Each structure stands twice: as C-alpha cells, then as structure tokens.
Amino acid sequence: MKDISGTTRICGLIGNPVEHTKSPIIHNTLAEELGIDLCYGAFRVDDDKVEDAIKGAYALNILGMNVTVPYKSRVIASLSDIDPLAKKIGAVNTLVRTEGGFKGYNTDMPGLYRAMCYDGVDIRNEKVVILGAGGVARAVLMMLIEKGAKEIVIVNRTIEKAREIMEEAYKFADRERQSIKAVSVEEFISDASDKEYIAIQATSVGMYPNVDCSPCEDPSFYEKVKAGYDLIFNPEETLFMKMVRESGGKAYNGLKMLLYQGIIAFELWTGEKVSDDLADKILQKMKHS
C-alpha cells in the first residue's frame, strides 16, 4: 500500500454516483509506477454542492480533479479558464490547478482518439457514422471534425436532434473537405452506395444490465461497418460489438477510451508522459478488476 505523507498531492473524481469508478486504478497505479507522490480518490457530490466542491478543492490545494456525470457541463461556470476543445464540446471532465482557479479540459475525446490510434484505426479522411445525437455524440462529432474525418453521418431515431448537432458542428468544420449529414437508420441502410464506415456507438443502449439491445439491430446496418467502437465498457462485448464482428468488422469497447482519458488527465496534472507499455499494463489491471 502506498505511503501517504504531508507532501502527497491529492487528485480525485467528483460526480454522483462515483462508487463504481475505475479511475483510482488508473491514477494510483500511474503514480506508483512513475514514482510520483500522488493519491487519487472518489468524491460523491450532491447536486446542490457542485460549486462548493470546486471552490473547496481549490482551497484545499488539490492538484486536479476529474468530473463525471451529471456535472460535466455544470462545472464550467466555476472555472477560471477552459480549453478550446472543451469549450466546443460544452463539457469538461478534467480540472487542472492554475493560478487563480481550475482550468477545464475534455480528455474524453482525446482519449477516444488515442485509443483508436492504439488499435490502428486512423480516422483522417475517413467516413464515420455516429449512432446517437446526445451530449456524447456531440463530443464525438467535434473530435472527428478536429481530427480530419472526411464524411460524418449522424444516425438517430429522432432526426431533429441529429440535425441540430449537425448544424452546430458545421460552424467548426472545413466545409470544402468535410461533409456532415444527419439521417435516420432507415435512410442510412437504404443508401445504395458501397461505402465502408467506422461506426461509433455513442448512446447508453446496451449498457449493463440491459445487455441484449443495441441502438440498431438491423444486420444491414453492420454490412457497411468495417470497424465499430462502442463507448460502453460494461459488458465487455455489447450486442453492437457482436453484430459488427458477425458482419466481418473489427469491434472495440470503451475501456481503452476510459484508460486514455485518465492518462491524458494524469499527464496534464504531472507533466509526465505515459508510455504505451505502461498504458497496456494498466489496461490489463482494469480488465481484471
């Protein structure tokens, strides 16, 4: 067990609930492996205490915080600064201590991108389909624009919501080389083109305990998918992933995204660079936890 002393820097997660989190595994293992005097915990914060929690964390000289649901947008009002990507996304999951307050970052989407790079999936100039049109889908969309995806299709049951985030995203896209469309599942399937897509499942459908469902259960959808990412990590294989694999595509869950968003936060707090070998070691530990 790690020794904690008067010089130990504290980091932690705020949200509600937080008891299920795997983040302490990531950060405490990183600190131990890299010889950094840092300890990471989880703090459940009630809905009416979010601002107090941020002010209190700063007053207590806490080095940095992660933020999980339902506070990723709520915390923005309590920050002294915000990273441009986090501002575009409209959500913050990492707070970094600076002079005068915390600066907010979104490491979820850089974490997803780093996970994709780890898996050898390059989205530059690629065709990508996003399932969903909520906050996570919006964040994925901003990341895809920033990283140079060529064609992005937002597929959602409520087409109006898909069009809403499409219109917002076009403010940041390069209209000459990036195409963004919003369609229904039926429209996507009926498209007669022979294009192959990277698919990102950005809804909570299929998460434990409701493991026998997917936002799209039509096999024809998966015939267009060469690689699929489900941002859920429990269960380890979702129905979405199973259907991707059954159609011949490669499928991945959200565990590596969780790992890398934590690693990027740790790097922001400490200035250390985490190697792929160490990342893989922690990934195995997370799988066995």
3 has pLDDT over 90: no
Structural domain contains residue 78: yes
Structural contact between residues 223 and 249, judged by C-beta atoms closer than 8 angstroms: no
23 lies in a domain? yes
User: What is the residue range of 163's domain?
Assistant: 110-252
pLDDT at 184: 94
User: What local confidence, expressed as pLDDT, does residue 195 receive?
Assistant: 86
Same domain, 268 and 149: no
Structural domain contains residue 143: yes
CB 186 within 8 A of CB 198: no
Contacts of 67 (CB under 8 A, 6+ apart): 13, 14, 15, 75, 92, 93, 94, 95
Q: What mean pLDDT is reported for the chain?
A: 95
Same domain, 102 and 172: no
Is 72 designated active site? Answer: yes
What are 213-264's pLDDT values in tens digits? 999 999 999 999 999 999 999 999 999 999 999 999 999 999 999 999 999 9
pLDDT digits (tens, 9 = 90+) for 12-59: 999 999 998 999 999 999 999 999 999 999 999 999 999 999 999 999
The answer on pLDDT for 193 being more than 90 is no
Pick the catalytic residue from 2, 49, 72, 242. 72
CA terminus-to-terminus distance, the chain: 17
Q: Are residues 51 and 165 in the same domain?
A: no
Same domain, 123 and 147: yes
For residues 13 and 98, state if they share a domain. yes
Structure tokens at 281: 């070691």
123-132, 192-201, 266-275: the lowest-pLDDT one: 192-201
Whether the pLDDT of residue 1 is over 70: the answer is no
State the pLDDT at residue 52.
Answer: 98
The domain tally of the chain equals: 2
Task: Give the CATH number for residue 121.
Answer: 3.40.50.720
pTM for the full model?
0.93
| 136 and 245 part of one domain | yes
149 with 202, same domain?
A: yes
Q: Is residue 234 part of a domain?
A: yes
| Residue 1 maps to a domain | no
Any domain includes 165: yes
SS (H, E, C) 113-167: HHHHHHCCCCCCCCEEEEECCCHHHHHHHHHHHHCCCCEEEEECCCHHHHHHHHH
Instruction: Label the pairing between strands 101-105 and 9-15.
Output: unpaired
> For residue 58, what is the domain's CATH number?
3.40.50.10860
In a shared domain, residues 143 and 219 = yes
Does residue 153 share a domain with residue 206?
A: yes
Both 43 and 102 in one domain: the answer is yes
Please tell me whether residues 22 and 57 are part of one structural domain. Answer: yes
Same domain? For 19 and 124 the reply is no
Whether residue 262 lies inside any domain: the answer is: yes
- List, for residues 8-19, the tens digit of each pLDDT value: 999 999 999 999
Residue 39 lies in a domain: yes
Mean per-residue pLDDT for 101-127?
A: 96
pLDDT at 266: 98
Residue 289, pLDDT > 90, answer: no
